[in-house]
Amino acid sequence: MSKYQSVRGTRDLLGKTKKTFRSIEHIAYETAQNYGFQEIETPIFEFSEIFHRAMGETSDAVSKETYTFKDRGDDSITLRPEGTAGVVRAYVSEGLAQNNPNKLYYYGPMFRYERPQKGRYRQFYQIGVEVLGLENPLADVECIDLAYSILKKLQLQNRCQLEINTLGDTESRHNYRQALVDFLTPLKSQLSADSQVRLEKNPLRILDSKDENDRKLIANAPQMENYLSETSKKFFETVLHGLTELNIPYKVNPKLVRGLDYYCHTVFEFVTTELGAQGALLAGGRYDGLVETLGGAKTPGVGWASGVDRLTDLLESTMNLETRKPVSIITLGDKALTVGLKIARDLRAKNTYCEVFMTGNFKKKLEKANKLQTEKAILIFEQENGSMEFKIKDFSTGTETATTLEAIQKM
């Protein structure tokens, strides 16, 4: 075995796994197009400040998990740990506001330094969407509907549950933050070290703590719903009514806050019980203040991202992937092989999948073609006088029928 291995937390995508990845991305891309989303691709690294400002210094993704380094120009660079901040940076720097609303779709690798486990990798892949410039709560509904449509096409809608909550507007968050601080301050010494820091900087993040003792302490914490402004209540009611009208089942989870600092109003996750602790398949929410944080004008936004690795873990054993069956070209003789390559080039130009076998005797080539589930093969035999004999072999019946080069060229 080679002493060189892939870096811990990364993996090579091969065979059926890669096919499943491509199939998921294709379904997501086609569905997003049906909803009017345009594709965007941002760099896999940005200036570190973009992620630090967008995601919050106290978020785990920034404080513990980012791949951050100094480049040769002494700039601090971070590999993207998520997609939203880069898309919003592009929205601001590319002047996309003049075309509002912007409905954007992306796919690509993300990077977080965290403990690798099933469904969690240090290089992982996400599909995601962002809607910028729409304040209407029904934009949230359309975003969730797109997510639900993709999950339905993947036949996962019955294997996961939509959980949803509201974080309210600025006024609501301010009032609730104070109530939470008042509740947790007497318990500060019992909180985990991370939550003690968050109590000072972003107490709502404590609700998202994975520490078991923290979770016990916040079990009786004040509920956000009791601090919502009338505007926030109406916003959330409109979202829930829209989901009901579209027959999208949901469960309100008052403890759901999401892990990043930029969320407001609607937050949601599609969760499954089939992947152990890594249960979130798709998650997102509204982030009306993020564009301002990154230097743009006040702009409402809502979006979500889904982990393709986790979707693949669920689908790999059940997804019915279409297998293209090749036209096999089996030759006898060096000159026949050259003729076979020419025929294959012309068929491939017509979008036909062709395999030309270059090794093994004639019998071995037939066996290889059969393994690829070839239904039809072109047999080319080089004669002693240098001429070529052509046959078509039907693998379902085993019959061979003589043919001509001209007939083959018309296939």
pLDDT at 260: 60
pLDDT at 254: 85
Q: What is the mean pLDDT of residues 345-366?
A: 93
**pLDDT recorded at residue 59:** 57
Structure-block tokens of residue 211: 């520490």
Which residue would you say has higher pLDDT here, 80 or 209?
80
Please report the domains of the chain, with CATH numbers, ordered by start residue.
15-169+229-315 (3.30.930.10), 327-409 (3.40.50.800)
How far apart CA 60 and CA 120 sit, in angstroms, is 15
Structure confidence by residue, pLDDT tens digits, 146-176 = 999 999 999 999 999 999 999 999 888 888 8
Flag whether pLDDT at 185 surpasses 60: yes
Instruction: Say which range, 115-124, 279-288, 290-299, has the weakest mean pLDDT.
Output: 115-124
Amino acid symbol at 331: T
Taking the whole predicted model, whether its pTM rises above 0.95 is answered as: no
E strand map for 116-188: 123-132, 161-166
Token look-up 């019980």 returns 273
Contacts for 32-39 with beta carbons within 8 Å, 24 or more apart? 32/105, 32/129, 32/146, 32/150, 33/105, 35/103, 35/142, 35/146, 35/149, 36/103, 37/103, 37/104, 37/105, 37/129, 37/146, 38/102, 38/103, 38/104, 38/105, 39/104, 39/105, 39/106
At residue 331, does pLDDT exceed 90?
A: yes
CA distance 139 to 85: 19
Cα angle for residues 32, 308, 22 (degrees, 5° grid):
70
Q: What is the mean pLDDT of residues 181-209?
A: 86
Checking if the pLDDT of 342 tops 70, the result is: yes
What's the confidence (pLDDT) of residue 62?
Answer: 62
46 Cβ neighbours under 8 A, 6+ residues apart: 77, 78, 80, 85, 86, 89
- Report pLDDT digits (tens) over 103-146: 999 999 999 998 877 778 999 999 999 999 999 999 999 999 99
How large is the average pLDDT for residues 175-195? 89
Q: What is the pLDDT of residue 204?
A: 81
Q: What's the pLDDT score for residue 316?
A: 79
pLDDT interval class at 320 (50, 70, 90): confident
Task: Give the tokens for residue 305.
Answer: 């991202």
Q: Apex CA 154: angle with CA 266 and CA 239, to 5°?
A: 20
Query: What mean pLDDT do residues 264-291 have?
Result: 89
**Average pLDDT taken over every residue of the chain:** 91
Q: What is the predicted pLDDT for the residue at 61? A: 58
Tokens of 165: 């909550």
Q: Using DSSP, state whether 40 is helix, strand or coil.
A: coil
Query: Which residues have a Cβ under 8 Å from the Cβ of 145 and sit 6 or more positions away?
Result: 246, 248
The string of DSSP letters for 52-71 reads HHHH-TTSHHHHTS--EEE-
CA 147 from centre of chain: 11
Specify the pLDDT at position 256. 85
**pLDDT tens digits, residue range 218-267?**
888 888 889 999 999 999 999 999 999 999 999 999 888 765 667 889 99
Q: What is the pLDDT of residues 11-65, one digit of tens each?
A: 999 988 999 999 999 999 999 999 999 999 999 999 999 988 777 655 555 667 8
More confident residue, 321 or 362: 362
pLDDT at 278 over 70: no
Q: Give the separation between CA 192 and CA 182, rounded to whole angstroms.
A: 17
pLDDT higher than 70, residue 357? yes
- Average the pLDDT over 324-341 and give the result: 93
